[in-house]
Amino acid sequence: MKKMDIRVKRTYQLLNDALANLLKEKSFEDLTVLEICDAAGVHRATFYKHFVDKYDFLNTCFRMKIDDLGFENMDPSQTTESMRKNITRIIYKVLLFVETNKDFLAAVSTDKAASSFHDILTTAIASLIEEKIKSNPLLTDSLDHQVPMIANYYAGAVVGLIKWWSKSESPCTVQDFLEFTQPKVREFSNYFKPYFPKRSEAV
């Protein structure tokens, strides 16, 4: 998400906080824009200046929460090991986010809202994987048009598994989840090994 004006950011935060409080008493489906605005102390005209409807607002909330995870703090080194660590870090951050925000996510788990969250999360993870691949000219030149497909394929698999984990009645622990995914993450990272300079892999 682009850096926003401080006044706009404050308005978004007021609305976000109001939504979080209202969801303790009502489901997202039952909430109206007027209720959200009244609770936030924000004029409804201001709301519609920034959002099409409450679902558009919720999508912005999702993006803000995902942005706050700090995905951009990635290991820049060009090795398969750094790629494995970066993907593992992403999975770990998302798992903690889902665990911490379980009540919020459950309150907005309508088909439309839940689908939007998973789509936004998939896009965010795919963009990071694609960015990591494209940061290496050897990978970009060798894989060419396959890069977006590879990134979205893997991001979809990761988010699908996290979606199952978040809805399961007796999910495994975060540590168990990470242990299960490690061989898959390593296998994915090793796919790129032939494209990395051998001297960087030896570091």
CATH match for 6-52 among 3.40.50.720, 1.10.150.20, 1.20.1740.10, 1.10.10.60: 1.10.10.60
- What pLDDT, on a 0 to 100 scale, did the predictor assign at position 200? 45
Phi, psi of 54 (to 5 degrees): -70, -25
Q: For residue 81, what are the contacts with CB-CB under 8 A and spacing of at least 6?
A: 189, 201
Residue 33, token pair as written in the block: 């824009």
C-alpha to C-alpha distances, 197 to 77, 161, 162, 200, nearest whole angstrom: 11, 32, 33, 6
- What pLDDT, on a 0 to 100 scale, did the predictor assign at position 50? 93
10-residue block means of pLDDT along the chain (203 residues)?
73 92 88 95 94 92 82 70 85 87 78 79 87 77 82 90 81 88 88 67 42
B/e letters for 154-178, b = 16+ CB within 10 Å, e = fewer, are bbeebbeebbebbeeeeeeeeeebe
- What pLDDT, on a 0 to 100 scale, did the predictor assign at position 34? 96
- What pLDDT, on a 0 to 100 scale, did the predictor assign at position 198? 61
d(CA 186, CA 203): 17
- What pLDDT, on a 0 to 100 scale, did the predictor assign at position 134? 80
Delimit the domains of the chain by residue range: 6-52, 69-201
Give one word for 126, left, alpha or beta, with left for phi > 0 and alpha for psi -120 to 50. alpha
Residue 96, token pair as written in the block: 């903690």
d(CA 190, CA 196): 10
- What pLDDT, on a 0 to 100 scale, did the predictor assign at position 26? 85
- What pLDDT, on a 0 to 100 scale, did the predictor assign at position 18? 94
Phi, psi of 51 (to 5 degrees): -130, 150
pTM listed for this prediction: 0.76
- What pLDDT, on a 0 to 100 scale, did the predictor assign at position 202? 43
Q: What is the pLDDT of residues 36-77, one digit of tens each?
A: 999 999 999 999 999 999 999 998 888 888 887 777 666 666
- What pLDDT, on a 0 to 100 scale, did the predictor assign at position 53? 94
Kindly report the number of other CB atoms within 10 A of residue 118's CB atom.
Answer: 17
- Torsion, Cα of 75, 193, 89, 161 (10° steps): 150
